[in-house]
Every structure is written in C-alpha cells, then in structure tokens.
Amino acid sequence: MKEKRKFLFEGEKERLDIFLRDKNPDLTRSQIKLLIDAGFVLLNSKIAEKAGIFLKNGDNVEIEINDEIREELKVEPQDIEVPIIYEDEDIVVVNKPAGMTVHPAIGHRKDTLANALAYRYREILKMDKVRPGIVHRLDKEVSGVMVVARNYRARNLLAEQFKNKLVKKTYIACAIGQTDNLPSEGVISKNITRHPTNRIKMCVTENEGRESITRWKILKRKERYLFLLVNPLTGRTHQIRVHLSSEKMPVIGDNLYGGAKILKIDAGLAEIMNGYNGILLHSHSLSFTHPSTGEEMTFKTAPPPSFMKAFRHLFGEEIEIP
C-alpha cells in the first residue's frame, strides 16, 4: 500500500531529512533517507536531490511511503559467485558482473554484490548493515573492477581517497555518435542532478546539481559507432552515461539515456545485447593507494564476453585497450 503525505515548510532554514523526521514520527531518519535516495520525496514538485538539502520558507514537500520501507533494510549473506581479482586483510578487488546491484536498496534487497561479499567476508557486516565496506559504486548495468574495504580503517582511508579525487578510474565504452563532426577527445563539464520527474534518471543542468567532469577519448570509430576511453574526474550517479548522452554519444544498450534505439536498426547487435544484462560500459581499471602499505596499486579487468562480441560486430576486429 502506498501513502502520500504533503507538508509546507514555514521557517528560515532546515535540512529536508530532519524536517521530514519531525513531521513523520512513525519513520526513522534512516528510512526517510532511503526514501529520498530512491526518489520518493518531491520538493516543490521535483524529485529531491539529496537528504541534506536545506529547505526555504514556503517550500512544499511530498513524501510517498510504501510498505517495503517499514521492513528493515539490511544485507543478508548469500552464496553468490563473484570474480575476485585480489584480496588481503584490508581490501577486496572484484570484477562486478553487469546486471548486479552493488548494495541493497528499496526494490533490490537481495542478490547484490554486498550480499555476495558478506557471505565470503562475514567481518564486513560489522561496518554497515546496508553498505558494508562499500566505498564507491558501479551502476547495475555496468561491469568491471571495484574495490571494497574489509575493515573500518581501510574503509575510511579509501573513502578519503575517493572524496579527494585521488583514485584514477578508467572506463571503456561503445557509443553511438555523428563521428565526422566529433573531435578525437574532449572534456565534459556539466552539473548533474536528479531528473525532475523520473526517479531512476539523472540529467545535466546549468544552475543546480553537483559539479561533474568527464574526460573522453575516441580510440576507434566506424560509421556511427565509437569506441571510447573515459575517465570520470568526479563520481556522480550515472555520470558517464548522462554526460555522453548530453553530447549525443549515448552508450550502446542504455535504454535510460537513448543508447538502446540503435538496437531497433541493427538486428545483429540487438541479438547480442538481448543475451546480456548490461550496457556497453565497463570499468576497465582502478588505481589507488593501499590503505595499509601505502603502495600504489592498479587493477584491470577485461570486458565481459558479450561486450567483446558486440565490439567485434561493430568494428570487425578484436578489442585492444591501451
């Protein structure tokens, strides 16, 4: 059952999550944050961007509550196979499969990466019951390398590196674009915020949102198809997908941002993607400083077989990554 509640904020300044907690004593602050993160809170008829936003006098707030939010959200260990690239007492580096959500959320309580890692490394559950050891994320549709912390110290030090932009992230992507008019490389600097009406989508904006920067380079082009090397310099939700789409280079297979239209034209590509749980965007390498040894570490993963099969179909050769 769904219930909608509407409130008018009258005052000088107050955080959205605190305001809603006071107005909804039957909900905890963590439940309210989950609803905000999942896009179930509207601020002046637009989906609220984050829990910590400050309200202004006269703001209208609407919250949609469902039965699921009243059930405790936590990681239950599950025996799910996930490729392990590297592990020691502090960190685990994995090759996340496309189609796997990173941690539980509303609508995705099981079969996540966190569930799988909690089964193999029970100690991580001491850190957080929803996001144990998680210091960064990949979209469900995206495959590739991720690092997860195994203890508090490693989590805090890795999180600090991500916060201070000290981690180098390199992705590869197959996209669609008007190849004749494109330069060989570029930088996209556009703020990203939640889409005003679609709770699962993000969008670029001029005056709102958070600073977002993505560097891209064309490695290969053929007709309308592009093979890109992409470095996100910030870490926003859906950043690469949103930025490339905003430059009319959507990632192939990405139904949310316009990259799935090509599948209606290219039957061979559609057949390949039909058996794949992701899009043609892969986290190829991740470089960071080990939280205990101080060693500079770089981990790389090859794209999934379906990604490589799609690449052969698009470009007529095997994939090569510099």
DSSP 206-251: SSSSB--EEEEEEEEEETTEEEEEEEESS--TTHHHHHHHHTT-PB
Same domain as 123, residue 21:
no
Residue 62: give the domain boundaries: 2-70
CATH of the domain at 230: 3.30.2350.10
Confidence category of residue 275, pLDDT binned at 50, 70, 90: confident
Per-residue model confidence as pLDDT tens digits over 93-145: 999 999 999 998 877 789 999 999 999 999 999 998 889 999 999 999 999 99
Closest CA to 15 of 69, 58, 53, 70: 53
Query: Would you state the pLDDT for residue 196?
Result: 87
Annotation says 139 is catalytic: yes
Of the residues 139, 180, 254, 266, which is catalytic?
139
289 within some domain:
yes
Residues 274-281, mean pLDDT to the nearest whole number: 94
Confidence category of residue 3, pLDDT binned at 50, 70, 90: confident
| 22-31, 51-60, 92-101, 206-215: range with highest mean pLDDT | 92-101
Confidence category of residue 70, pLDDT binned at 50, 70, 90: low
List Cα–Cα distances, 6 to 10, 34, 139, in angstroms.
Answer: 13, 18, 31
Predicted TM-score (pTM) of this structure: 0.86
19 within some domain:
yes
Query: Would you state the pLDDT for residue 258?
Result: 95
Same domain as 37, residue 15:
yes
Same domain as 202, residue 216:
yes
